[in-house]
Structure 1
Amino acid sequence: MIKKPVFPLLAAILFLGSCAMLQSVVKSTFPYTATMVIPASAKVDEPQTALSIGNSYDQDFTKDGNNAGKISEVRIVSAKLESKDPSDYNIGNISSLRVYMGKSDGSDEVMVAIRKDIVPTSGNSITLDLDNSHFLDELVRQPSVRIRMVYRLRKAAATDVSLKVSLGIGSYPAN
């Protein structure tokens, strides 16, 4: 008779008592994404830069865009680059790239992903190599972050190209 309400009550207590765990799971579930534009005028075999503000879906659920107060040891756990427009753009037209993450004003920027060896036949999506040498705790507490991509073209595009960078993060509950 009393057994039925015990389980929901216990679950509610665990849920409310584990806000840090919940924030860690949420932050680790939704990646930061940014749209990078490579203009048709970009020069081949010279370093070029694309900038964008990175957004994460979980920012929509917070009052000030910051729900990362109870997480720590934030690192990049995955990084991907894919063609957005045109969707069949060959990322192999880029020979190498580096992705940086920083505050919206460009300060405290750190490299989070790199790819030095993009093959000419890569297709429209590639996985980037991670740079996990930095904790990103302070960056994910910002209402927005700036993503900067430094790239070198192998072949110029006939039109402007939009690429989507997805940066998955992992974190632990703060003590």
Structure 2
Amino acid sequence: MKKKLILFALCAFICASCGTVQSIIKSSFPYTATLVIPASSATGTTLTAISQGNSFDQNFAKNGNNGARVSDVHIVSAKMVATIPSDFNIGNLVSAKIYMAKANGDGEVMVASRTDIGSNSGNNIVLDIDNTHFLDELVREKSVRIKMVYQLRNKISLDASLRVVLGITADPTK
């Protein structure tokens, strides 16, 4: 039994260090962030919400992540979902732009946006992606910062939490 456990651990280690496996992991598990819009936010002005983005690698990898094993990383999908309150109408926003950066704010890149949010959009929307930038350097960071620049259409009575889900794709390093 002990030999099987050691063999399994060795196989898992070899697979985890493989670039192909890392590209599958990076492509399968999105970056997520919860951004808060305070009830005190003014309408008609450009506002900002910032949060730390999380990914599978950052949460579970022993030494940060294995971002060095992948390349040609870019956004393939972006979605925003209201979490608190769950019935928050994202249509209260006129527009939203999502940026990804290193934890200190360096290397900021716009990855998604929506400039035409309908007033009755409901509690989730799909964002338009900007996949013109490679995010190789950002996925190699131990943590990333997700920033939303937004404009409110209507005054809100409660703080609203929005979860941003950024799907990426990656190729194994050659």
Same fold (TM over 0.5): yes
Tell me: CA distance 1:61–1:123, structure 2 relative to 1, closer, same or farther (3 Å).
same
1:18 is displaced (CA, Å) by 8.3
Write the distance in 1 (CA, Å) between the matches of 2:34 and 2:135: 20
| Cα distance, 1:63 vs structure 2 | 1.7
User: Counterpart of 1:42 in 2: which secondary structure?
Assistant: coil
What is the SS of the residue equivalent to 2:59?
Answer: helix
Partner of 1:147: helix, strand, or coil?
A: strand
Alignment pair present for 1:109 and 2:108: yes
Consecutive unaligned residues of structure 2, counting only runs of 5 or more, are 1-10
Counterpart mapping for 1:64-79 below 5 A: 64-79=63-78
**8 Å contact 2:94–2:116 — kept in the other structure?**
yes
Normalising by structure 2, we get a TM-score of 0.89
Higher Cα Rg, which structure: 1
The answer to whether the Cα contact below 8 Å between 1:59 and 1:67 also exists between their aligned partners in 2 is no
1:98 is aligned to 97
| CA offset digits 1:142-163 (Å, max 9, x no partner) | 0000000000000011011100
Alpha-carbon offset, residue 34 of structure 1: 0.4
Give the Cα separation in 1 of the matches to 2:162 and 2:45.
Answer: 19
Q: Which residue of 2 aligns with 1:82?
A: 81
Counterpart CA distance in 2 for 1:17 and 1:159 is 43
Structure 1 moving runs of 4+ over 4 Å: 15-18
How far apart, in 2, do the equivalents of 1:26 and 1:166 lie? 15
| Inter-CA distance 105–16: structure 2 relative to 1 (3 Å threshold) | closer
Counterpart-to-counterpart distance in 2, 1:22 and 1:28: 10
Per-residue Cα deviation, 1:28-72 (whole angstroms, up to 9, x for no partner) = 111000000000010001000000000012323312222111100
Identity level (%): 56
Residue 113 of structure 1 and its aligned partner are, at CA, apart by 0.2
2:139 pairs with 1:140: yes
TM norm structure 1: 0.89
Could you tell me which runs of 5 or more consecutive residues in structure 1 were left unpaired when the two chains were aligned. 1-11
The residue that corresponds to 1:56 in the other structure is 55
- 1:165 and 1:64 mapped to 2: Cα distance? 25
Query: Distance in 1 between the 2:15 and 2:122 partners?
Result: 45
Aligned to 1:4: none
> How many residues get paired?
162
